[in-house]
Amino acid sequence: MQRSSTARSNICGQILQSRKQVQTNNNPRPCDVFINHRGIDTKRSVAGLLYNHLRRDLRLRPFLDSKNMKPGDKLFDKIEGAIGQCKIGIAVFSPQYCDSHFCLHELALMMETKKKVIPVFCDVKPSELRVKDYGNCPAKDVDRFQMALEEAKYTVGLAFDTLAGDWSEFLARASDAVIKNLVEVEQERLISRKQKSVPQFHCRTYIKNLNN
C-alpha cells in the first residue's frame, strides 16, 4: 500500500511539473487520461465519476467530451487531438457501447496510436461485445473497429456491476490501475529519452579507429 502511495505521489508530482512547463511555454495542455465511453450508458455514472475522481482527488487531467469541450469546438479535431496527446486511455464498455461507431472510432484510434488502454466492462461481459454493421459504415472502418475491440477484449481490465457493485472499491481499483499505467508510461518515456541521448556508434568510425 505504501509503495502504491509513493508511486502515486511521484507520478502526480511529475505530471504537475510537466504541466507547469507546458503552461510556461503557452502550449495546449495535453490530457493524462482519455475516457472513452458511451454517453447514454455511463456519462452520468461510471465515466462521470471517474472523471471527477481523477481530476479532483488525484489532480490528474482527464478528458471527457462533455467536460472538456465547448460550443464551437470541432468534434473530430478535439477528440482526435486529445487521443493523440493523452498518456493512457480508459475504455468504458457498456451494453450500448457497440451501437456507436464514434465510440469504436475512438477505441480504434487509441489502439492504432499504441496507447495503453484500461478496459472497464460495465454491466457487460467481453464476450457480449460485437461490432454491429448496419450497412452505413465503410468496410475498412468495420475492420478497424473489430480489430480494436478484439484487442481490448483480450486486455486485462476491470469489471463492474452498477447495481450490485461497491462504488468506492471500484474507484480505488480504477485509480490504482491508472497510476500503475501512468508510471509505466513515464518510465518508458525516460528510457526512450536516455537511449536517444546515447551517441550512435558507427561502423566506419570503429574501422577508422582500428586503422589508426
Task: Name the band, by pLDDT with cuts 50, 70 and 90, for residue 24.
Answer: very low
Amino acid sitting at position 201:
F
pLDDT at 55: 94
Can you name the residues that pair with 35 across neighbouring β-strands?
Answer: 90
Task: Name the band, by pLDDT with cuts 50, 70 and 90, for residue 61.
Answer: very high
- Average the pLDDT over 114-136 and give the result: 93
Per-residue pLDDT of 150-194, as tens digits, reads 999 999 999 999 999 999 999 999 999 999 999 999 998 888 887
Q: Which residues contact 64 (CB under 8 A, 6 or more apart)?
A: 35, 37, 43, 47, 48, 51
Neighbours of 60 (CB within 10 A): 23
- The answer to whether the pTM exceeds 0.75 is yes
Amino acid sitting at position 176:
D
- Average the pLDDT over 18-24 and give the result: 46
Closest CA to 118 of 186, 62, 76, 174: 174
Is the pLDDT assigned to residue 82 strictly greater than 90? yes
Domains of the chain: 2-211 (3.40.50.10140)
Is 106 in the active site? yes
pLDDT at 25: 43
Task: Name the band, by pLDDT with cuts 50, 70 and 90, for residue 6.
Answer: low
Q: Which of 59-68, 92-101, 166-175 has the lowest mean pLDDT?
A: 59-68
**Out of 80, 106, 184, 188, which one is annotated catalytic?**
106
Is the pLDDT assigned to residue 5 strictly greater than 70? no
Q: Which of 12-21, 101-110, 137-146, 164-173 has the lowest mean pLDDT?
A: 12-21
Task: Name the band, by pLDDT with cuts 50, 70 and 90, for residue 23.
Answer: very low
Look over the chain and give the mean of its residue pLDDT values, rounded to a whole number: 84
